[in-house]
Amino acid sequence: MVDLKAFHYALRLAAIALCAACVAVPSWAQNYPTRAIRMILPFPPGGPTDITGRVIAQKLSEQLGQPVVSDNRPGAAGNLGLEIAAKSPPDGYTIVLTAPPIAISPALYKKLNYDAQKDLAPISLVAEIQNIVVAHNSVPVKTLKDLIALAQRNPGKLTFSSSGAGSTNHLASELLKGRYKLDMIHVPFKGSSPALVALMSGQVDWGTMAVPGAIPLVNQGRVRGLAVLTEKRLPTLPNVPTAAESGVPDFIMPIWYGILAPAGTPREIINRLNAEIHKALAAPDVKKRLADSGVDPLVSTPDHFAKYIREETVRYAKIIKDAGITAQ
């Protein structure tokens, strides 16, 4: 006679095993990656996106056993690189390191060739970088308040650079302009590096820049650091005061970075990359290299990153509207 109790128990075990087989990671995902992965960096070499991306790409290459190749695709304030990524095959072999322009651009441009909410799949936040206001050494200012006073005495004469119209540093400078009703000329560049070169050469008077690219220039005295846009002074620039210390309160605007893949990339691959990114950012050598460049590691789940992008899109839309900023 058949033991029905034992039979039903065995049946339940078989059902559990079958369900497990149904949700198990496919063999192709387990073997991923089998070739090189392209990491698109939407800004020129030498800038904070490039620095951060290359450090992460190198560590991912070691962990995954396949090259993660950095591919600089600057242009349109980072939107060119994001568009290329959005239109790439969703097979896990193209990822893109984004900055706030993914959340800024929808309010800044009437038409984009991609939809950040629909065409890209968030993987993880990876880092946060602070901004700093710097001036050419020939400009007769030593503090942020000095710069404001100089601009007030000379309307329409001072020029400031940015890494592109609608970039985080552009918005920060425009917020300063709006708060103090300053008349200054914006000179946008395609990335932080050319913007810094223009500032060092005296082509522009001042600018808000990401800290990593500015650290060596400020410490070597090639440009003058006026204020960091943070709550506290930075260990990498201990002699540069915060904006609040310089007499300008509530002037804080960090830059965040995250990695995405084309929409439709299998969730198993998204999860694998998320885990590998978290592992890479926890590595002591990666943490040190990023810290030396003024970059703070930052991680998240894919869902949290997606929610964060939506929230930042709303926040930046208000800033742009209130400041009356338009794409140039």
Ordered structural domains, the chain, with CATH: 35-128+256-323 (3.40.190.150), 131-228 (3.40.190.10)
Among 66, 74, 81, 4, residue whose Cα is nearest residue 35: 66
Order the strands of the 185-188 sheet from edge to edge.
185-188, 159-162, 206-210, 131-135, 224-228
DSSP string, 159-173: EEEESSTT-HHHHHH
Residue ranges of alpha helices (H) inside the chain are 4-23, 27-30, 48-64, 79-86, 101-108, 144-153, 168-180, 192-201, 211-219, 267-282, 284-292, 302-323
Q: Give the pairing type, strands 159-162 and 224-228.
A: unpaired
Give dist(CA 200, CA 299) in Å, integer. 34
Among 108, 224, 260, residue whose Cα is nearest residue 171: 108
The amino acid that residue 147 corresponds to is L
| Residues 271/95, Cβ–Cβ less than 8 Å | no
Count the Cβ atoms, other than its own, within 10 Å of residue 308: 16
Which two structure tokens, joined as six digits, stand for 104?
A: 């800024």
Order the strands of the 68-72 sheet from edge to edge.
68-72, 37-41, 94-98, 255-262, 120-129, 295-297
pTM of the model: 0.76
| Cα 85 to Cα 18, 54, 217, distances in angstroms | 37, 17, 32
Peptide bond between residue 33 and the one before it cis (omega within 30 degrees of 0): yes
Instruction: List per-residue pLDDT tens for the chain, 328 residues long.
Output: 434 344 344 434 444 344 434 444 565 567 899 999 999 999 888 877 888 999 999 999 999 999 999 999 988 878 999 999 999 999 999 999 999 989 999 998 888 999 999 999 999 999 998 999 999 999 999 999 999 999 999 999 999 999 877 788 888 998 899 889 999 999 988 777 888 899 999 999 999 998 888 889 999 999 999 999 999 999 889 999 999 999 999 998 889 999 999 999 999 999 999 999 999 999 999 999 998 887 899 999 999 999 999 999 998 898 888 777 777 6
